[in-house]
Amino acid sequence: MCKSRIDFPGHIKQYLARIVGLRPSRAGGLALGLLLALPAAGAAGNPPDTVPVDAAPADVTGVLTVLVADDFQHGNSQALYALEDKASHRKFDIRFQGAIPNGLQSGATVRIHGLAKGKDLYLEANGTTTTYQVLAPGVTVVSGDQKTLVIVADFADVPVACSASAVEDLMFSDPSGNSIDALYRETSFGQVSFSGIVAGPYPIDARSTDPCNPGAWADAANAAAAAQGIDLNAYPRKVYVLPSSAYTVCGYTGLGQVGGSPSRAWTFECDMADSYGHELGHNLGMGHASTPTNEYGDTSDVMGAGGWGLRQVNSAHKEQMGWLLAPAEVLGITQSGTYTIAPLELDPSQATAPQALKIAKPDTGDYYYLSYRLPDGFDANLAYSYLRRLTIHHYAGDGSASRTYLLQSLADGGQLQRFGEWYFIHPAEPRRQPGHRAGPARTRDLPDRRAKPRPLAQQSGWGTGRKPQLFGVDHQHGLGRLPSQHLQPRRCASGGLDGQRFSVQSHPGPGCPGVGDPFRQLPRHRRGGNLRADGERV
C-alpha cells in the first residue's frame, strides 16, 4: 500500500475555520473529512483527537453549513461541517468521532446532543451518549434561473489574470455557447440556467503573501460591490474570482458550499471553466464524481477533476437533481433481460427509450446506474474511453450529496462484467452499411439562450451510436438472452449460440473468475485522521 501523504497544511485548515467563524483545535486539525456516502452502521471511527475530559453535555439545534475545498492538482478534497445555534447564534465546529452521516448538505436544520468545549461540538462514535438528528432537510434549488453575482477581486500586488468581460463570457455569454449557463441548460435539459452580472475587478486590502482567508476576501469583495450600488440581496448565488496566487497560499483550486441557497463559491483559476462548473455544482447539491480509487477520477462528469473542459454530469447526478425522472427516463431493473438505453445527452422529450437503467443493490440499499454517452454538445469534450460504451456507476440513490462512483465503461463487442450478483454485457453494434456517412459530431448553436433543448447532431447508422443501444443484464439467479447478431462469444462465457439467442451463464466459468463487487472494496471513509486522495488512511 502506498504510504505517500497528501494532506492540507495547517494554514489551510485555519482559513477554512475563518470562513465560518470557527477555530482550529488544539491538536491542529479541523472537523475535516471526505464528503461521501458512508455505511449507516458498523464503521468505527478513528478520531483525530479525543474528546476533552472537561467537555460538557450540550444540546444544539441550528442550521448546518458544509464547505468543500477542492485541490484538483493533488486529487485531494476536504470538508468542513459547522452548525449555528438558532437561539444563541453561536457557531460550532462539528467533530464527528465516528462515521459522518451520509450526504450532508448546507441548509439542513439539525439537532445535536453532543459534548461541547468552546466552539468544538463532539459526536462520539458509539452513538449512545451523543446523537445527531435531522429535523428538516436543506432546501436545495435545482430548477429555474439561478441569479448569480460574480465578483472579480484583485490583490494589492497581484491582479486576476482574466478580464471581467472574459469571465462574463465564461459564465453567461460565450458567443460560441461554451458558457456555464449553456452547460447547465444542456445537462439539465433546460431546467436550470444561470444569469447575472460580473462586477469588478475591485482591489481589496489583501496581498498574495497574506495568510489564506477566503472568507475575509469575500467580505471585502461584497463591500466593494455594494459601494458601487450593486444590490447583493438580488443575487442568492455568489462566485468570487481571485488571483491564482491564492492557490499558492491556500493549496486548492476552488471552494464551494454544498447545497443551500443563498450559496457561495470561490475559484482561484479564472480561466479554468470546469472549476466554475464544479463549485456551482456543489452549490446545487452535487457531490464528487469519483472512482473507487480516485477522489476526482470520473472525468466524464464536471463534478470530477478540473482542467478537462466543460462536460455534462453522469446519469446518477441527473436523477439526483431531478433532471431525469423514474420510471420513464430512469428504468428500474429487477430481473435479467435485454434492455434498450437512449443516449444520455438526448432531451427526454425526444428519447424513445429510457436514458438510464437503475439496479438496486439489496445488501446496501444503494444502486447501480447504467447509461450510454455520445460526443454530442458539451460531451464532445469527453475522452474516447467514455463514448459509445455501457457506463456503470454506483450511487446511494437517495438524493444526497454523496459521491457517485464510476465502476466500469464497457466497449461494444459482448464483454461480460460481473458486479456482485449482476453481469453486464455490451453487445456488438452491427456494422454500418457501405455508403453510410456520419454527420457532425456535435452542434454548438444556441439560438436564443432560452431554456430550450439543444439540437443534437444528425447522424445515421448504428455505428454512429445515435440510436438506442441494446444491453444484456444477467442476474446471478437467471440467464439473459440476446440476439446472436448483436453478440460475439467470449472465452469466459459458457453456453453459446442458440439459434437467434445467446445464453450467458449465471456464474463465470472455470479459470475466469468474476471481478467481484467493487463497491465492497470502496474506501470506507471515516471522520478524522489523515486521508489520501483514494480514502486510505496513512
Kindly tell me the sign of the dihedral angle through the C-alpha atoms of 97, 98, 103, 107: negative
Q: Which amino acid does the sequence have at 371? A: S
H or E element, residue 14: helix 10-19
Smallest Cα–Cα separation from 278: which of 259, 265, 290?
Answer: 265
Q: Which amino acid does the sequence have at 200? A: G
How many Å apart are CA 65 and CA 108, to the nearest integer? Answer: 8
pLDDT digits (tens, 9 = 90+) for 117-157: 999 999 887 667 788 888 988 876 689 999 999 999 999 99
The DSSP 8-state label assigned to residue 531 in this structure reads B
The DSSP 8-state label assigned to residue 171 in this structure reads I
- Is the bond into 327 cis (omega within 30 degrees of 0)? yes
Q: The whole model's pTM is what?
A: 0.75
Fold that domain 10-136 belongs to in CATH = OB fold (Dihydrolipoamide Acetyltransferase, E2P) (2.40.50)
For residue 224, which phi and psi values (nearest 5 degrees)? -65, -40
Residue 11 DSSP SS3: helix
Contact call for residues 66 and 31 (beta carbons, < 8 A) = no
Contact call for residues 356 and 469 (beta carbons, < 8 A) = no
- How would DSSP label each residue in 235-268? -SEEEEE--THHHHHH--SEEEE-S-SSEEEEES
CA distances for 105 relative to 149, 265, 276, 282, 290, angstroms: 22, 15, 19, 9, 18
pLDDT, tens digit only, all 538 positions of the chain: 333 333 444 444 444 444 444 333 322 222 222 222 222 222 233 345 588 999 999 999 999 999 999 999 999 998 889 999 999 999 999 998 877 877 788 999 999 999 999 999 998 876 677 888 889 888 766 899 999 999 999 999 999 999 999 999 999 999 999 999 999 999 999 999 999 999 999 999 999 999 999 999 999 999 999 999 999 999 999 999 999 999 999 999 999 999 999 999 999 999 999 999 999 999 999 999 999 999 999 999 999 999 999 999 999 999 999 999 989 999 998 888 888 889 999 999 999 899 999 999 888 889 999 999 999 999 999 999 999 888 999 999 999 899 999 998 887 665 556 676 676 666 655 444 444 333 333 333 333 323 333 333 322 222 344 556 666 665 543 323 333 223 222 222 222 222 212 222 223 333 333 333 333 333 333 232 222 232 222 2
CA angle 500, 506, 509 (to 5 degrees): 100
Q: Looking up cell 475555520, which residue turns up?
A: 17
For residue 517, which phi and psi values (nearest 5 degrees)? -110, 105
Q: Where are the beta strands (DSSP E) in 8-156?
A: 32-33, 56-71, 76-85, 91-96, 109-117, 120-123, 131-136, 144-154
How many Å apart are CA 57 and CA 51, to the nearest integer? Answer: 11
Across the chain, which distance is largest between two alpha carbons, in Å?
A: 81
How many Å apart are CA 355 and CA 340, to the nearest integer? Answer: 9
Contact call for residues 519 and 420 (beta carbons, < 8 A) = yes
The CA-based dihedral angle spanning residues 495, 496, 497, 501, taken in that order and rounded to the nearest 10 degrees: 40
pLDDT digits (tens, 9 = 90+) for 251-260: 999 999 999 9
Return the domain boundaries, the chain. 10-136, 145-245+256-284, 315-432+441-454+465-521
Contact call for residues 278 and 272 (beta carbons, < 8 A) = no
